[in-house]
Every structure is written in structure tokens, then in C-alpha cells.
Amino acid sequence: MTTGDGKILLDIEDLRVDFAVLGGIVNAVKGVSLQVRAGETLGLVGESGSGKSVTTYGLVGLLASNGTMTASRVTFDGIDILGSKKAAQAIRGKDVSFIFQNPRAALNPIRTIGRQVEDALEAGRRPPKDRRERRERAVALLESVKISKAADRMNSYPHELSGGMCQRVLIAMALAAEPRLLVADEPTTGLDATTQKAVMDIISELSEQRGLSTILITHDLGLAARYCKRLAVMRLGELVEAGPAQDVLQTPKHAYTQRLIAATPRRDGELADLIPASGRPDVPNVKQVSATDQPLLTARKLRKTYKGKRGLVHNAVQEINFTVRRGHSLGIVGESGSGKTTTARMLARLLDPTDGSILFDGHDLTDVDIRRFALSPWRRKVQVVFQDPMGSLNPRFTAFDAIANPLRRAEPGLSANDERTRVGHAADRAGLPRELLLRYPHQMSGGQQARVGIARALVVQPEVIIFDEPTSALDVSVQAVLLNQLDTLRREEKLSFVFVSHDLNVVRMMCEEVLVMKDGAVVERGLAKDVLSNPQHPYTKTLVDAIPSFGEAA
């Protein structure tokens, strides 16, 4: 990355952002001062609610209607944008462009990506002269973000692209205006390690080529270490520490920064290291049962194919075999499209395999019709915790009802008193405070929503829980507590886990064994600590190399 030794492009002094809400005022940003130099990449790090995004949104008038911004000084290239709403609007989309966190939500689902890039060109500082130039420049932008066959992709809709491809389209749109400052707001959340690296490498490369200044908003400290020269750490609306990235990460001065670093999974770290002993979760005392080598869930020649356009067949999963032992945890890793989520959905009988069998304790689950499986006694044995906690919860159900719902289906004659007891016990085991049981999903944080999903899986007393990217959108401190909570539960209650994740450090900490999938096939398997520390297959080596490390210099 560029050193950022140029003149000051963005200068902020004593920035404050407040929101008027029912019952009072929320002070979202409290006196933040920072500078961004020409050609520099600044990392703005901190957990959800720290004020990272609000700080940048307020600069260009993107605050919600109930938000107000004040400051002693805000200048962009020497121009005062604080006292002039017109000046702030003038730089938005031209001098300052944004890459938003959720690419699918940021793209218009009913317009082709080509038209959306062309719209961005039209709104930029140098609109195309005619239709031909507009298309040529749009294709060139898509090519610049490494979208293959860009001319053909112009006619694709967002739902036809992967998450990584959609993120590249957003980058192309952000660059269409030829900005001088790029704000990347959590641009890689939910992406696998190799796609994350590809997206960030594109941003880095284009920033160097065009002399762009960049603000990278992220809670991933490893990512910040790899791509940023300077870091600013925010907590509860305040800037608590700032300086060269390596100094902040290697010798953090503020206690909050130290906690963030400790909670971040590393290649050589252990699960217990993520949180101090005093902060580790309490789980009700349950007699610890040793794991065994007894097979519990077995996949035999499991295969899933889809028929596409013109009769083409897509092999999503190709005759894979594996066993989950009682009390053990199996990790399944790979890039988006590798077949890991499809495999998990087949194991949970949410999806019918094309061929092969799934044995639970010797019983073939594929003998039960998928439409009747939800009502079968096997449903409670195999439970799922989904990737998006908010999306998997009924917005009209309180946390209590969300947890109780599968229990009511499994045991329809259960008394109200017994139901309250079972729900409360499940909430305790998942680390969900009982006072939150009457809240609705939108009234809870992401970590609390995730715990509702875990409690919902635990309440029917399953033997296997399948986790599909359960911590992908969580802050590192929330993730640390949740992972320790899950590990304690597994060990004390002899649960078996199938852990689907793109975070290889998390898989190494949580799982004894791992499967590495690529294009629907298993390319490497073995003990997680061996496979992920000394990979043998070139693909696994690529995945491991893509993991950001604190030791890397930007």
C-alpha cells in the first residue's frame, strides 16, 4: 500500500453525532478527531456500535433523519464541508465513494449489473458522451475489478452472481466516479478467505494505481494489519487509540485494544486464550462425558446434482464420505460454491440428496420423506444453527416463542410450566440472559440473536448440531465468548458438532477433524491441527495462505 505521506485530504476535529430517539438522545460519536492523507489507507476498527460507520456517513450527509452532526472542523482537500450542506453533497459520489457491507442489499435486484455501473458513470464527475462510450467504460471497470468475460456479465442480474462477484461490482461502481477517497465499510464480511483476499487485493491495487485514499472500516484486525498503514480504534463512539498499524497491534496501549487483539483467533492460538479466565462463560454443571469413537452421523457416497439451462448438470456435491463421531466436532471448510453448505443442508435433511445415504446411529435418514422429516422423531436428533441469526428468526416471535416453537412441535402435550422450565434451561446453556426472552429479534444484538438460535437448537435435546457460519458477522469479543460457550456445551453434554465455516482459525480451535471441499469434492481430510498447520493439497495451502495475520505489514 502507499505510504500516505502526501497532504492532508480529510481533516476532522471533534466530530460528534447524536440521534434523537424515543426517550432521549443517543451520543453515537463523541468528539472524534482524525486525518486521512492523500494516498493513505486508514483502518477504522472496533466492534458493532462503536461509531465507525456513523463517523464516515455523517461526513457526506448519509445520516438518518433523526441524526445531527457537529464538529470544530471538517475539511476535504482544504474545503470546509461542515458549514455547507451543498458542499457535502457535492463531494458525495464524486470525491467520496462508498463500498457498503452487504453487496446484495446495495445492488438493485431488478437491474442488470451493467446498467448499474453505467448509472454510476452517469452520476460521476466525467459522464460518458454517448451510449457506446458508456458501455465501453462500464466493461473496462468490470474488467479492472477482475470480473471475467465482463462484456457478457453486463447483462447479469445480482442474484446470478456470487457474493464476491457482487462485491466486485460495488467496487466498480464506487470507482466509476473517479473518487479521491474510498470508504470501504466491512467490504469482506461473510466472504471466504480467498474471496476476501481477492476483493481486498483489488481495492489495494486500484488504490495504488489511482492514488486513492481509503478508509477501511472493519472489525477484522488481521485484515487491517495486512492492508492498512495506520489504525484508529473506536469504542462506544470514542477514539481510544491511533497510530501505525504494527505499533497498535504489536504494542497496544489501551485496554480495549488489548481485549480486541486477545479475542481475535490466530493461527497458533488456542480457544481458551480468546477470553480471560474470569470472563469465560458459566454453564450449568453437567456431568462431563468423554467423547468416543462410536460413529453417530455418517455420509456414504453423498451426492447432489442440479439441472441447469439447456440440460447442463451441475455437481454441487460429488460422492463424499465421512463420519461424525459421538462427542466430536467435524469442520467443513472451502470457498463459496465448494458444496459445504449443500452438504450441511443434506445432513440436516433440509435438502434431498440425489444419491447416497445419511446414517444416524445406524438408521438411514434418507428413508424418511423430506416433507415428513420435520414431524419425525429424528428431527429433534439433528438440529441446525443458521448463518444469519436475524434472518432465521420469526420477527413476530419473542425469543421465548422462537425457542419454544420446535419444542411444541416435538412434544405437543408439554405443560406450560414444563415449557417455561425447558426454554429457560436452554437459554441458560446458550448464555442468553432470561430477561431477554420477552424481546423480539430487532430488539437484540447480533450476538444475542445468535444465542437464541443456539438455544432453539438445544431445547429439544439434540445429539448433533450443524452450525452454518454461526459467527461470520459477529464481533471478535462476542465470537470469543460464544465459541467457548459452545465448546463447553459439547464437552459436558457429549454433543456432536458439524461446523461449516470459512474461518480456518475458528475451525482449527473448535474441531478435531476437518474436511476441505472444492467444487463439490473432498480434496483433503484429517486432524484439523495437522491439515491447517501443514496442508498437503495445493488448494488447502491457498486457503491457509489467504488468512490475514497480525505479523504481515501493509
Segment 50-55 shows an average pLDDT of 88
Pairing of strands 496-500, 329-333: parallel
**Burial tier of 414 (Cβ tally within 10 Å: 0-12, 13-18, 19+):** middle
**Of all residues in the chain, what percent carry a pLDDT higher than 90?**
41
pLDDT digits (tens, 9 = 90+) for 262-288: 888 877 777 877 876 545 555 444 444
Cell numbers 448464555: residue? 431
Beta-carbon count within 10 A of 466 CB: 27
Q: Residue 104: which residues within 8 A CB-CB, separation 6 or more?
A: 158, 159, 163, 166
Cell numbers 479521491: residue? 180
User: Helices H, strands E: what count in the chain?
Assistant: 20, 21
Band of pLDDT at residue 375, cut at 50, 70 and 90? low
- Contact (CB, 8 A) for 67 and 17: yes
Band of pLDDT at residue 338, cut at 50, 70 and 90? confident
Segment 18-22 shows an average pLDDT of 85
pLDDT digits (tens, 9 = 90+) for 291-302: 567 889 999 999
Give the residue among 393, 60, 348 at the shortest CA–CA distance from 215.
60
Beta-carbon count within 10 A of 119 CB: 16
For 140-146, which contacts have Cβ atoms below 8 Å and span 24 or more sequence positions?
A: 141/117, 141/172, 141/173, 141/175, 141/176, 142/113, 142/114, 142/117, 142/168, 142/169, 142/172, 144/172, 144/175, 144/206, 145/169, 145/171, 145/172, 145/175, 145/202, 145/206, 146/198, 146/202
Helix (H) or strand (E) holding 237: none
Asked whether residue 372 carries a pLDDT value surpassing 90, the answer given is no
Segment 180-201 shows an average pLDDT of 83
CA–CA gap between residue 395 and residue 399 (Å, rounded): 10
Asked whether residue 80 carries a pLDDT value surpassing 80, the answer given is yes
**Who wins on pLDDT, 226 or 311?**
226
The average confidence (pLDDT) of the chain is 86
Q: What angle is formed at CA 384 by the lines to CA 378 and CA 385, rounded to 5 degrees?
A: 160
CA–CA gap between residue 415 and residue 402 (Å, rounded): 17
* Beta pairing partners, 364: 359
Beta-carbon count within 10 A of 310 CB: 5
Band of pLDDT at residue 554, cut at 50, 70 and 90? low
